Amino acid sequence: MRSVLRTDDLSLPDAASIFDLADWLLPRILPPDGPRRLKLDGLRGVSGALLFYEPSTRTRVSFELAAKLLGGDVVGISASGSSIEKGESLRDTAMTLEAMGFNLAVLRHRCADAAELFAGRFSGAVINGGTGRGEHPTQALLDAFTLRRHGLLEAGRGVLIVGDIANSRVMRSTAELLTRLGLRVTLCAPPSLLPPAWLGEGAPYAWTPDLDVALGKADALVLLRMQRERMDGAAHTGAAEYAKLYGLNARRLGLLRPGALIMHPGPVNRGVEVGEAVFADPRCAINAQVGNGVAIRAALLCWALGKDPRD
Protein backbone atom coordinates (compact mmCIF):
# COMPACT_ATOMS: atom_id res chain seq x y z
CA MET A 1 0.00 0.00 0.00
CA ARG A 2 1.33 3.40 -0.92
CA SER A 3 0.02 6.81 -0.01
CA VAL A 4 0.31 9.92 -2.17
CA LEU A 5 0.07 13.01 0.00
CA ARG A 6 2.30 15.24 -2.15
CA THR A 7 3.73 15.07 -5.64
CA ASP A 8 7.19 14.34 -4.27
CA ASP A 9 5.88 11.08 -2.81
CA LEU A 10 6.11 9.92 -6.44
CA SER A 11 9.46 9.25 -8.06
CA LEU A 12 9.76 9.90 -11.79
CA PRO A 13 9.68 6.12 -12.53
CA ASP A 14 6.51 5.90 -10.38
CA ALA A 15 4.94 8.71 -12.40
CA ALA A 16 5.96 7.05 -15.68
CA SER A 17 4.39 3.74 -14.69
CA ILE A 18 1.16 5.53 -13.68
CA PHE A 19 1.12 7.31 -17.09
CA ASP A 20 1.64 3.97 -18.90
CA LEU A 21 -1.24 2.36 -17.04
CA ALA A 22 -3.46 5.43 -17.63
CA ASP A 23 -2.67 5.16 -21.36
CA TRP A 24 -3.87 1.56 -21.28
CA LEU A 25 -6.98 2.41 -19.25
CA LEU A 26 -8.11 5.55 -21.12
CA PRO A 27 -9.54 3.88 -24.27
CA ARG A 28 -11.27 1.30 -22.06
CA ILE A 29 -12.78 3.91 -19.76
CA LEU A 30 -13.67 6.39 -22.51
CA PRO A 31 -13.79 4.47 -25.80
CA PRO A 32 -13.99 6.93 -28.71
CA ASP A 33 -16.57 4.79 -30.52
CA GLY A 34 -19.07 3.35 -28.07
CA PRO A 35 -19.88 2.29 -24.53
CA ARG A 36 -17.27 1.63 -21.87
CA ARG A 37 -15.59 -1.74 -22.21
CA LEU A 38 -15.12 -2.10 -18.46
CA LYS A 39 -15.88 -3.47 -15.79
CA LEU A 40 -12.38 -4.60 -15.01
CA ASP A 41 -11.69 -6.03 -11.63
CA GLY A 42 -8.30 -4.50 -10.88
CA LEU A 43 -9.59 -2.99 -7.64
CA ARG A 44 -11.66 -5.93 -6.44
CA GLY A 45 -11.33 -6.19 -2.65
CA VAL A 46 -10.59 -2.49 -2.30
CA SER A 47 -12.83 -0.62 0.10
CA GLY A 48 -12.46 3.13 -0.18
CA ALA A 49 -13.76 6.16 1.69
CA LEU A 50 -13.96 9.36 -0.37
CA LEU A 51 -13.88 12.16 2.19
CA PHE A 52 -14.69 15.43 0.45
CA TYR A 53 -14.89 18.22 3.01
CA GLU A 54 -14.57 20.95 0.35
CA PRO A 55 -16.67 21.21 -2.85
CA SER A 56 -15.59 19.12 -5.82
CA THR A 57 -17.11 17.76 -9.02
CA ARG A 58 -14.26 16.52 -11.23
CA THR A 59 -11.97 15.06 -8.57
CA ARG A 60 -14.69 13.44 -6.47
CA VAL A 61 -16.64 11.96 -9.37
CA SER A 62 -13.56 10.74 -11.19
CA PHE A 63 -12.24 8.91 -8.12
CA GLU A 64 -15.65 7.33 -7.57
CA LEU A 65 -16.10 6.39 -11.22
CA ALA A 66 -12.54 5.04 -11.49
CA ALA A 67 -12.89 2.88 -8.39
CA LYS A 68 -16.28 1.53 -9.42
CA LEU A 69 -15.23 0.76 -13.00
CA LEU A 70 -12.36 -1.28 -11.61
CA GLY A 71 -14.53 -3.26 -9.22
CA GLY A 72 -13.74 -1.43 -5.96
CA ASP A 73 -16.28 -0.46 -3.32
CA VAL A 74 -16.40 3.21 -2.38
CA VAL A 75 -18.42 5.27 0.05
CA GLY A 76 -18.65 9.06 -0.26
CA ILE A 77 -18.47 11.19 2.90
CA SER A 78 -19.01 14.94 2.99
CA ALA A 79 -18.74 17.37 5.89
CA SER A 80 -22.45 18.03 6.01
CA GLY A 81 -24.29 15.03 7.34
CA SER A 82 -21.23 13.36 8.85
CA SER A 83 -19.89 13.43 12.41
CA ILE A 84 -17.54 16.27 11.49
CA GLU A 85 -20.64 18.45 12.06
CA LYS A 86 -20.68 17.15 15.64
CA GLY A 87 -17.05 18.12 16.10
CA GLU A 88 -15.37 14.78 15.39
CA SER A 89 -11.70 15.31 14.56
CA LEU A 90 -10.03 14.10 11.38
CA ARG A 91 -7.91 11.72 13.47
CA ASP A 92 -10.97 10.10 15.03
CA THR A 93 -12.65 9.83 11.63
CA ALA A 94 -9.53 8.03 10.33
CA MET A 95 -9.59 5.59 13.25
CA THR A 96 -13.33 5.00 12.78
CA LEU A 97 -12.91 4.19 9.08
CA GLU A 98 -9.99 1.91 9.81
CA ALA A 99 -12.09 0.03 12.37
CA MET A 100 -14.66 -0.55 9.58
CA GLY A 101 -12.02 -2.20 7.43
CA PHE A 102 -11.47 0.52 4.80
CA ASN A 103 -8.11 0.14 3.08
CA LEU A 104 -8.22 3.33 0.98
CA ALA A 105 -9.08 6.95 1.76
CA VAL A 106 -9.15 9.92 -0.60
CA LEU A 107 -9.26 13.22 1.24
CA ARG A 108 -10.13 16.76 0.23
CA HIS A 109 -9.91 19.31 3.01
CA ARG A 110 -9.42 23.04 3.52
CA CYS A 111 -6.29 22.57 5.68
CA ALA A 112 -2.99 22.15 3.86
CA ASP A 113 -1.72 19.48 6.30
CA ALA A 114 -4.94 17.45 6.54
CA ALA A 115 -3.73 14.50 4.44
CA GLU A 116 -0.59 14.05 6.60
CA LEU A 117 -2.71 14.23 9.74
CA PHE A 118 -5.15 11.65 8.43
CA ALA A 119 -2.42 9.32 7.21
CA GLY A 120 -0.90 9.32 10.70
CA ARG A 121 -3.96 7.44 11.99
CA PHE A 122 -4.91 5.30 8.99
CA SER A 123 -2.95 2.27 7.89
CA GLY A 124 -4.47 1.96 4.39
CA ALA A 125 -3.49 4.00 1.32
CA VAL A 126 -4.24 7.73 1.63
CA ILE A 127 -4.55 9.87 -1.50
CA ASN A 128 -4.61 13.65 -1.24
CA GLY A 129 -7.59 14.88 -3.26
CA GLY A 130 -6.66 18.56 -2.76
CA THR A 131 -5.82 20.23 0.55
CA GLY A 132 -6.10 23.96 1.19
CA ARG A 133 -3.37 25.96 -0.53
CA GLY A 134 -1.11 22.94 -0.11
CA GLU A 135 -1.13 20.14 -2.68
CA HIS A 136 -3.27 18.51 -5.34
CA PRO A 137 -1.08 15.70 -6.62
CA THR A 138 -3.65 13.96 -8.83
CA GLN A 139 -4.25 17.23 -10.69
CA ALA A 140 -0.49 17.45 -11.30
CA LEU A 141 -0.46 13.89 -12.63
CA LEU A 142 -3.36 14.56 -14.97
CA ASP A 143 -1.82 17.81 -16.21
CA ALA A 144 1.47 16.02 -16.94
CA PHE A 145 -0.42 13.12 -18.55
CA THR A 146 -2.35 15.55 -20.78
CA LEU A 147 0.94 17.13 -21.89
CA ARG A 148 2.34 13.66 -22.53
CA ARG A 149 -0.61 12.67 -24.71
CA HIS A 150 0.04 15.78 -26.80
CA GLY A 151 3.77 15.06 -27.11
CA LEU A 152 4.67 18.02 -24.89
CA LEU A 153 6.00 16.26 -21.79
CA GLU A 154 9.59 16.87 -22.84
CA ALA A 155 12.51 18.46 -21.04
CA GLY A 156 12.91 22.10 -22.02
CA ARG A 157 9.25 22.71 -22.91
CA GLY A 158 7.85 25.91 -21.41
CA VAL A 159 4.70 25.86 -19.26
CA LEU A 160 3.09 29.13 -18.21
CA ILE A 161 0.86 29.01 -15.12
CA VAL A 162 -1.42 32.05 -15.10
CA GLY A 163 -3.51 33.66 -12.39
CA ASP A 164 -4.16 33.17 -8.70
CA ILE A 165 -0.83 31.57 -7.83
CA ALA A 166 -1.01 32.55 -4.16
CA ASN A 167 -4.09 30.45 -3.41
CA SER A 168 -3.51 27.57 -5.77
CA ARG A 169 -2.66 24.03 -4.67
CA VAL A 170 -2.81 23.04 -8.36
CA MET A 171 0.07 25.40 -9.09
CA ARG A 172 2.17 24.01 -6.22
CA SER A 173 1.73 20.39 -7.26
CA THR A 174 1.83 20.83 -11.03
CA ALA A 175 4.86 23.14 -10.98
CA GLU A 176 6.79 20.75 -8.71
CA LEU A 177 6.13 17.70 -10.87
CA LEU A 178 6.71 19.41 -14.23
CA THR A 179 9.94 21.00 -13.00
CA ARG A 180 11.22 17.62 -11.85
CA LEU A 181 10.33 16.26 -15.29
CA GLY A 182 12.59 18.90 -16.81
CA LEU A 183 10.00 21.37 -18.11
CA ARG A 184 10.47 25.13 -17.60
CA VAL A 185 7.72 26.55 -15.42
CA THR A 186 7.00 30.30 -15.46
CA LEU A 187 4.35 31.95 -13.32
CA CYS A 188 2.31 34.82 -14.71
CA ALA A 189 0.32 36.94 -12.26
CA PRO A 190 0.07 40.41 -10.79
CA PRO A 191 2.20 40.80 -7.64
CA SER A 192 -1.00 40.75 -5.54
CA LEU A 193 -1.71 37.15 -6.61
CA LEU A 194 1.78 35.83 -5.89
CA PRO A 195 2.94 34.60 -2.45
CA PRO A 196 4.78 37.69 -1.10
CA ALA A 197 7.94 35.68 -0.42
CA TRP A 198 8.16 34.77 -4.12
CA LEU A 199 8.54 38.37 -5.26
CA GLY A 200 12.19 38.68 -4.35
CA GLU A 201 15.30 36.61 -4.78
CA GLY A 202 15.08 32.93 -3.93
CA ALA A 203 11.66 32.51 -5.60
CA PRO A 204 11.23 28.89 -6.68
CA TYR A 205 9.96 29.72 -10.19
CA ALA A 206 10.46 32.39 -12.81
CA TRP A 207 7.75 35.07 -12.73
CA THR A 208 6.40 37.66 -15.13
CA PRO A 209 3.41 40.00 -14.73
CA ASP A 210 3.10 40.45 -18.52
CA LEU A 211 0.82 37.86 -20.08
CA ASP A 212 0.94 39.22 -23.64
CA VAL A 213 4.73 38.84 -23.80
CA ALA A 214 4.82 35.47 -22.03
CA LEU A 215 2.13 33.86 -24.24
CA GLY A 216 4.32 33.67 -27.32
CA LYS A 217 7.02 31.70 -25.47
CA ALA A 218 4.79 29.02 -23.94
CA ASP A 219 4.27 25.45 -25.15
CA ALA A 220 1.39 25.07 -22.71
CA LEU A 221 -0.76 27.24 -20.46
CA VAL A 222 -2.32 26.31 -17.14
CA LEU A 223 -5.02 28.91 -16.38
CA LEU A 224 -6.15 29.22 -12.78
CA ARG A 225 -9.40 30.33 -11.22
CA MET A 226 -9.48 33.25 -8.76
CA GLN A 227 -9.96 31.21 -5.60
CA ARG A 228 -11.96 33.80 -3.70
CA GLU A 229 -12.94 31.24 -1.07
CA ARG A 230 -9.32 31.39 0.12
CA MET A 231 -8.88 35.14 -0.08
CA ASP A 232 -8.86 36.96 3.20
CA GLY A 233 -10.92 40.02 2.38
CA ALA A 234 -7.94 42.16 1.40
CA ALA A 235 -8.26 44.26 -1.74
CA HIS A 236 -8.14 41.98 -4.77
CA THR A 237 -8.51 42.43 -8.48
CA GLY A 238 -12.17 42.43 -9.56
CA ALA A 239 -13.40 40.02 -12.23
CA ALA A 240 -13.63 42.60 -15.03
CA GLU A 241 -10.17 43.98 -14.36
CA TYR A 242 -8.73 40.47 -14.12
CA ALA A 243 -10.32 39.48 -17.43
CA LYS A 244 -8.78 42.53 -19.09
CA LEU A 245 -5.27 41.94 -17.75
CA TYR A 246 -5.05 38.13 -17.48
CA GLY A 247 -8.06 36.55 -19.21
CA LEU A 248 -7.38 34.38 -22.26
CA ASN A 249 -9.54 36.02 -24.92
CA ALA A 250 -9.76 35.95 -28.73
CA ARG A 251 -6.99 38.56 -29.12
CA ARG A 252 -4.61 36.68 -26.84
CA LEU A 253 -5.31 33.37 -28.62
CA GLY A 254 -3.63 35.04 -31.57
CA LEU A 255 -0.44 35.52 -29.53
CA LEU A 256 -0.25 31.87 -28.55
CA ARG A 257 1.91 29.42 -30.52
CA PRO A 258 0.06 27.24 -33.05
CA GLY A 259 0.94 23.99 -31.25
CA ALA A 260 0.48 25.24 -27.69
CA LEU A 261 -1.96 23.55 -25.31
CA ILE A 262 -4.50 25.36 -23.12
CA MET A 263 -5.29 23.70 -19.80
CA HIS A 264 -7.38 24.64 -16.76
CA PRO A 265 -8.11 22.44 -13.73
CA GLY A 266 -11.74 23.60 -13.55
CA PRO A 267 -14.15 24.85 -12.52
CA VAL A 268 -13.76 27.70 -15.02
CA ASN A 269 -15.16 31.19 -14.70
CA ARG A 270 -16.21 31.91 -18.26
CA GLY A 271 -15.51 35.46 -19.24
CA VAL A 272 -12.96 35.92 -16.45
CA GLU A 273 -9.85 33.71 -16.85
CA VAL A 274 -11.27 31.89 -19.90
CA GLY A 275 -13.07 33.69 -22.74
CA GLU A 276 -15.76 31.91 -24.80
CA ALA A 277 -13.45 31.79 -27.83
CA VAL A 278 -11.10 29.44 -25.96
CA PHE A 279 -13.55 26.54 -25.99
CA ALA A 280 -13.79 26.62 -29.78
CA ASP A 281 -10.01 26.69 -30.21
CA PRO A 282 -8.41 23.37 -31.23
CA ARG A 283 -5.62 23.99 -28.70
CA CYS A 284 -8.06 23.86 -25.81
CA ALA A 285 -7.54 20.67 -23.76
CA ILE A 286 -9.83 21.56 -20.85
CA ASN A 287 -12.37 18.82 -21.58
CA ALA A 288 -9.67 16.31 -22.49
CA GLN A 289 -8.16 16.92 -19.05
CA VAL A 290 -11.42 15.81 -17.43
CA GLY A 291 -11.39 12.45 -19.25
CA ASN A 292 -7.67 12.04 -18.62
CA GLY A 293 -8.39 12.65 -14.93
CA VAL A 294 -10.54 9.54 -14.69
CA ALA A 295 -7.84 7.36 -16.28
CA ILE A 296 -5.08 8.90 -14.14
CA ARG A 297 -7.04 8.40 -10.90
CA ALA A 298 -7.85 4.81 -11.89
CA ALA A 299 -4.16 4.19 -12.60
CA LEU A 300 -3.06 5.87 -9.38
CA LEU A 301 -5.48 3.81 -7.29
CA CYS A 302 -4.12 0.61 -8.86
CA TRP A 303 -0.56 1.74 -8.24
CA ALA A 304 -1.26 2.75 -4.63
CA LEU A 305 -2.95 -0.56 -3.86
CA GLY A 306 -0.40 -2.70 -5.67
CA LYS A 307 -2.88 -3.92 -8.31
CA ASP A 308 -2.58 -4.17 -12.09
CA PRO A 309 -5.72 -4.62 -14.20
CA ARG A 310 -3.53 -5.72 -17.16
CA ASP A 311 -2.57 -8.96 -15.33
Q: Give min distance, CB of 268 to ligand ASP, in A.
A: 9
Which is closer to ligand ASP, CB of 3 or CB of 289? 289
User: From residue 275, how far is each of 1, 141, 186, 278 by CA, in Å?
Assistant: 43, 26, 22, 6
CB of 169 to ligand ASP, least distance (A): 5
List binders of ligand ASP among 161-200 (CB under 6 A).
169-170
CB of 252 to ligand ASP, least distance (A): 20
Partners of 186 in the beta sheet?
160, 206
Q: Quick check: 52 and 60 in contact, CB under 8 A?
A: yes
Give SS3 for 226.
Answer: coil
Closer to ligand ASP by Cβ: residue 16 or 288: 288
Helix axes 137-149, 12-29, angle to 10 degrees: 70
**Binding footprint of ligand ASP, residue count (CB under 6 A):** 8
Q: What is the helix (H) or strand (E) element at residue 23, kind and residue range?
A: helix 12-29
Nearer to ligand ASP, 246 or 309 (CB): 246
CB of residue 144 to ligand ASP, shortest distance in Å: 16
Closest residue to ligand ASP in the complex (CB): 225
Nearer to ligand ASP, 48 or 137 (CB): 137
Q: In angstroms, rounded to a whole number, what is the distance separating the alpha carbons of residues 119 and 121?
A: 5
CA–CA dist 177, 14 (Å, integer)? 12
Instruction: Find the shortest distance in angstroms from Cβ 272 to ligand ASP.
Output: 12
| Cβ atoms of residues 264 and 222 within 8 Å | yes
CB of 62 to ligand ASP, least distance (A): 11
Q: Decide whether 164 or 219 has the Cβ nearer to ligand ASP.
A: 164
User: According to CB under 6 A, which residues from 99 to 158 bind ligand ASP?
Assistant: 130, 136
Quote the least distance from Cβ 60 to ligand ASP, whole Å.
10
CB of 55 to ligand ASP, least distance (A): 8
**In the structure, how many helices (H) and strands (E) does the chain have?**
11, 9
E runs forming strands in the chain:
47-52, 73-78, 104-109, 125-131, 158-162, 184-188, 206-208, 220-223, 261-263
Angle between helices 286-304 and 12-29 (to 10 degrees): 120
Q: Is the CB of 228 or the CB of 310 nearer to ligand ASP? A: 228
If the CB atoms of residues 110 and 252 are measured against ligand ASP, the closer one turns out to be 110
Among 109, 225, 236, 307, the residue binding ligand ASP under the rule CB under 6 A is: 225
Nearer to ligand ASP, 130 or 247 (CB): 130
How many angstroms separate the first and last alpha carbons of the chain? 18
Q: Does 227 bind ligand ASP (CB under 6 A)?
A: yes
Q: Which residues bind ligand ASP (CB under 6 A)?
A: 130, 136, 169-170, 225, 227, 265-266
